[in-house]
Structure 1
Amino acid sequence: MHKEIDPVCGMEVNSSTAKYKTLYKGKAYYFCSPACKEAFEKNPEYYLKHGPQGMPHH
């Protein structure tokens, strides 16, 4: 089991069972929910620079 950190909310995500993931600049990022995935895809550099910000607001 490999733990990854959701770059948007900071939750631990199991990369082998994660339903939500995206590739950015050749690296895979894993998410706990479609909302986190969508937030990251809208502004990936923000989350990579500032770190997890908590659950995104709808």
Structure 2
Amino acid sequence: MNAQNSTEYSIDPVCQMKITKDSKVPSFVFRSETFHFCADSCRKAFMADPEKYIESKPAKRKGLWGRYLDRLNKATGGKPPCCH
């Protein structure tokens, strides 16, 4: 039997990257909530202006690639692709 994978994920509020929540990733506590980041540069950007990144509405992607990714997320429900 395989042990169930209990890895928790978070979304970097600066670059929107999906990252694992562990002690190795940079984090910052703001208003009693812990935010996790993909890199220290994203953490520093967040620390400089947290209000910019915690608004409830996500930033709209621009350009052809952004529109493609938006349509792909809508079609798949934001779930990553599965093999088989």
**TM (normalized to structure 1)?**
0.80
Q: 1:1-58 deviations in whole A, cap 9, x for unaligned?
A: 00100000000110025420000000000000011000000000011115468xxxxx
Instruction: Give runs of ≥4 in structure 1 deviating > 3 Å.
Output: 50-53
Q: How large is the Cα RMSD of the aligned pairs?
A: 1.9
Match of 1:22 in 2: 28
Structure 1: distance between partners of 2:59 and 2:30: 16
**TM (normalized to structure 2)?**
0.57
Q: More helix per residue: 1 or 2?
A: 2
Q: How many residues align?
A: 53
Code of the aligned partner of 2:9: K
Larger radius of gyration: 2
Identity of aligned pairs, percent? Answer: 26
Match of 1:47 in 2: 53
Q: More strand per residue: 1 or 2?
A: 1
Of the three residues 8, 23, 47, the one matched with 2:14 is 8
Structure 2: distance between partners of 1:3 and 1:45: 22
Q: Which protein has greater RCO, CA pairs closer than 8 Å, 6+ apart? A: 1
